[in-house]
Structure 1
Amino acid sequence: MQTEALVPLALPRGQKLRCELCLAPATVRCGGCAVTYYCDVEHQNADWASAHEKICPLLIPLRTAPPFYNSEKERKHGREQKISREKFLAELTQTIAQNFLLEGKHESAIPAALHSLKFSISVHGSDSVELVPAFLILAEASLGLGHLPQGEEYLSQAHWIILKNPQSSSATQSKLHRNLGLLYAAKGNFEESLRHLANDIYYASCAFGTNSVAVSGGYFHMANVFFRQNRMDVADSLYSEVVDIWHQHFCHLIDLRYQTLMTPAEINMLSEETESPEETLDEKEKAEATQMLSAILDLREQSARPQRAKIAKAVQAQAMLHYLTRDLQKAHECVTKVRQLMKQLPKHEPDRPFRRLIKLMQGRPVYGK
């Protein structure tokens, strides 16, 4: 990374430059693009590690003086190019920020999300519903870092925009209410948290269907609230609902793979290139399924009265998840564990998805990630 310290910066009278991240007076400039400024090297390094390294040269045409245009047609084309670049950067930095969230890197997500917010404002205006995703990422990252007041401020901004835009999608409203539910849970206001999580489940069901994995997060976080209230029966029921949703989803994906296999030769031909996007888990689903199933399984196994049938179902869901994410070694470990648990259950035979999973695994070598 190139940096150029400018203390003080040589600026025309009356011109002030602000930090890209915090808007404090700038003292440092990026030596790569020379059009991005920071209050100190710490903020410059944070931005570089988050998004700036990927967008550094792309900022130059946006932040330098435009060329002289000879006609209105050229000026219009120049404006359209600028908007197109800003839209691309808004989407790119939003994706970068979302990926950091999936990895649990909340601090790294914030600079990228701030970039996305700025570009979205430039393209769509300060009251547009297109700003909501960036605000929600900023809120989720802030809550993940324990910065509740900042997270609450971002959620207030998102909520206000949605109230002014009644056409906001059910999917967007689901994400808003989930984050509000997490905020109030962190503040200890369980009643308000449950209200928002119930809204999350409602809007996610409207957008994706009642049995969609998109609904599972609302049930999972609601179960966590009941668990903290020591309302164990309700929490256990909701955790079971989460496992059922993921188990059903994985069974569907396993069935799709199994139906394509007619002979052992075709099993051996199964490869990453032959799978269609509809048959795979996206990164968000992988991260959420891993988090939820691992947490539920830990609670099940640590219970004073472990219920082996429920543990077996959660482990079977994990086995399918590992198979679908191509971690065959862990999938085999889970299959072995399920078989051991089944031996302790009266009259419990492997179900069809489990038998199909085993057959699929027999056609592929064992390997780790």
Structure 2
Amino acid sequence: MCDILVPLTANAQRIGTEEERKLLDQSIQLCQRLLIEVTLSEATKLVGRAEYEDALPGSIQALRFSLEIYGSGRSELIPCYILLAEANLGLSRFKQAEECLCNANWILIKTRDNDKKVKSILYRGFGRLYAAQGKREEALRQLANDVSPNAALTDTVC
């Protein structure tokens, strides 16, 4: 996989016609999208096996490529932020985990995405974070939002 990353991350000078450059850019973007899928998939497996430190590089690379392809503030970034939050939470890096959860939550609010599954994941993530920090009341509130049928009526506040 490292061999694939080198040409994608190198700032190679693009020569040729405008059409050739456009095709090259499209090809690079396709490779980046595929690598996002692969890195997220592998990082998810590592988080599932509690190999949090090993999950970070893939999660970070997926976020970098997603930012490059989609731009900041896009809903496509949410899975990357959630995975980074889970890995950081597993490593007891609470500040980084909270930052990732807040970024995902902000994107969800900003894009007016009403995906109940993502909201549920975020409520659980914040609940687990606050529980790990010993913030019992806040953890219970977030976890209650996850299971409550009225969860869509309240928002997580960062």
Which category of TM-score, normalised to the shorter sequence, fits these structures?
A: 0.7 to 0.9
Task: Give yes or no for the alignment of 1:127 onto 2:97.
Answer: no
The alpha carbon displacement at 1:168 in A equals 4.5
Q: Is the 8 A contact 2:14 2:21 kept in 1?
A: no
Q: Within 1, Cα distance between the matches of 2:148 and 2:54?
A: 31
The alpha carbon displacement at 1:67 in A equals 4.1
The alpha carbon displacement at 1:59 in A equals 1.2
Task: Give yes or no for the alignment of 1:60 onto 2:6.
Answer: yes
1:179 counterpart (103, 113, 125):
125
Q: Is the 8 A contact 1:100 1:106 kept in 2?
A: yes
Task: Please name the residue that 1:103 is paired with.
Answer: 49
Q: Is the 8 A contact 2:56 2:84 kept in 1?
A: yes
Task: Please name the residue that 2:37 is paired with.
Answer: 91
Q: Within 2, Cα distance between the matches of 1:156 and 1:182?
A: 14
1:1-369 matches, cutoff 5 A: 55-64=1-10, 65-70=12-17, 72-202=18-148
The alpha carbon displacement at 1:180 in A equals 0.2
Deviation readout 1:132-160 (Å, 9 max, x if unpaired): 11111111111111111121111111111
The alpha carbon displacement at 1:75 in A equals 2.1
Letter in 1 for 2:15: F
Moved over 3 A (4+): none
Task: Please name the residue that 2:156 is paired with.
Answer: none
Flag structure 1 segments of 5+ consecutive residues without an equivalent: 1-54, 207-369
Q: Which has the higher contact order (CA 8 A, sep 6+)?
A: 2
Q: Is the 8 A contact 1:184 1:190 kept in 2?
A: yes
The alignment's TM-score, normalised by the length of structure 1, stands at: 0.39
Q: Per the alignment, in what secondary structure is the counterpart of residue 200 of structure 1?
A: helix
The alpha carbon displacement at 1:201 in A equals 2.5
The alpha carbon displacement at 1:66 in A equals 4.5
Q: Is the 8 A contact 1:129 1:168 kept in 2?
A: no
The alpha carbon displacement at 1:129 in A equals 1.0
Q: Within 1, Cα distance between the matches of 2:58 and 2:114?
A: 23
Letter in 2 for 1:96: E
Q: Within 1, Cα distance between the matches of 2:9 and 2:134?
A: 45
Deviation readout 1:273-331 (Å, 9 max, x if unpaired): xxxxxxxxxxxxxxxxxxxxxxxxxxxxxxxxxxxxxxxxxxxxxxxxxxxxxxxxxxx
Q: Within 2, Cα distance between the matches of 1:160 and 1:152?
A: 12
Number of aligned residue pairs: give it: 150
Q: Within 1, Cα distance between the matches of 2:88 and 2:6?
A: 30
Deviation readout 1:19-47 (Å, 9 max, x if unpaired): xxxxxxxxxxxxxxxxxxxxxxxxxxxxx
Q: Per the alignment, in what secondary structure is the counterpart of residue 57 of structure 2?
A: helix
The alignment's TM-score, normalised by the length of structure 2, stands at: 0.87
Q: Per the alignment, in what secondary structure is the counterpart of residue 55 of structure 2?
A: helix
Letter in 1 for 2:49: E
Q: Is the 8 A contact 2:127 2:139 kept in 1?
A: yes
Q: Within 2, Cα distance between the matches of 1:197 and 1:83?
A: 38
Q: Per the alignment, in what secondary structure is the counterpart of residue 69 of structure 1?
A: coil
* Structure ID, larger Rg: 1
